[in-house]
Copies of this chain bind each other. A is one copy, B any other.
Amino acid sequence: MPEREADRSVSQTVRAQLALRDLILSGGLRPGERISELQAVETTGVSRTPVRMALVRLEEEGLLEAIPSGGFMVKAFSERDILDSIELRGTLEGLAARFAAERGVSARDLEPLKECLNEIDGLVRQDPISVEAFSSYVALNARFHPLLTELSRSPPLIRQIDRASALPFASPSGFVMAQSALPEAHQILLIAQDHHRVVIDAIENREGARAEAIMREHARLAARNLRLALRNRTHLDLLPALALIKSAAAD
């Protein structure tokens, strides 16, 4: 079947949203820079209507900021903003873990999570850990966290966590790859995996406060990774999203 010009199956709006998001995260647009709709029409190849829709959605996503007089600009983030976003995500995931513990979960619901954990165990046993193993870890981690969130069985909370994780630097896997270049890499991964095991154990034993606390601390690993990566200033290219940081980056 002919499939020129990208997928014909997805809507123009989604296509524009993806294209613009990539453009922003790859640093194609400077923070604070106004996004011209016509310019966006040229780069995305779709009409103004879906472009406008995509811009609105990217604003809600947090990547854009509305200009009072009209239009949108690329949002700029401080390092503090990012750290706060991580703490925020950890707090929400903590709430989800507490809900799961307090309300109880069936062994059947826990099954896919334990599978994840076992697969991750296979990875972290390596020393040193290969880059491919890191990629696998990112994938497994990106599977584990949503599963954990869903254990809360709370649609409003799940929704809010999704929104809080939409910002790439706030997502559970946002800074794992940055970590791969660090000497502490293996150690941090072992700790993260221990957090995973502890939160499942806490949920199984209906220990709400413990489940909540460990998820908060778990998120703070991401904050540590960010700080280490910024200080070392090595392999920052692994983190395209950092193009949005105000002071740093911007070579």
Please pick, from B84, B157, B159, the residue contacting A157 in the complex, using a CB distance under 8 A: B84
Q: Given A60-B60, A91-B91, A95-B91, do A84 and B53 touch, yes or no (CB 8 Å)?
A: no
**Nearest-Cβ distance from residue A80 to partner chain B, whole angstroms:** 8
- Residues of B contacting A156 with CB < 8 Å? 62, 81, 84-85, 88, 167, 170
**Residue A145 lies at the interface, judged by CB distance under 8 Å to chain B:** no
Q: How many residues of A contact B (CB 8 A)?
A: 27
**Cβ–Cβ contact A154 & B95, under 8 A:** no
Nearest to A57 among chain B residues (CB) is B56
**Residue A100 lies at the interface, judged by CB distance under 8 Å to chain B:** no
**Residue A155 lies at the interface, judged by CB distance under 8 Å to chain B:** yes
**Cβ–Cβ contact B81 & A155, under 8 A:** yes
- Residues of B contacting A87 with CB < 8 Å? 95
Q: Which of A163-216 contact B (CB under 8 A)?
A: 163-164, 167, 170
**Nearest-Cβ distance from residue A63 to partner chain B, whole angstroms:** 13
Inter-chain CA distance A155–B62, complex, in Å, is: 11
**Nearest-Cβ distance from residue A202 to partner chain B, whole angstroms:** 18
A-B contacts, 15 listed (Cβ < 8 Å): A49-B49, A53-B56, A62-B156, A81-B154, A81-B155, A81-B156, A84-B156, A87-B95, A88-B92, A88-B160, A91-B91, A91-B92, A156-B170, A160-B160, A163-B163
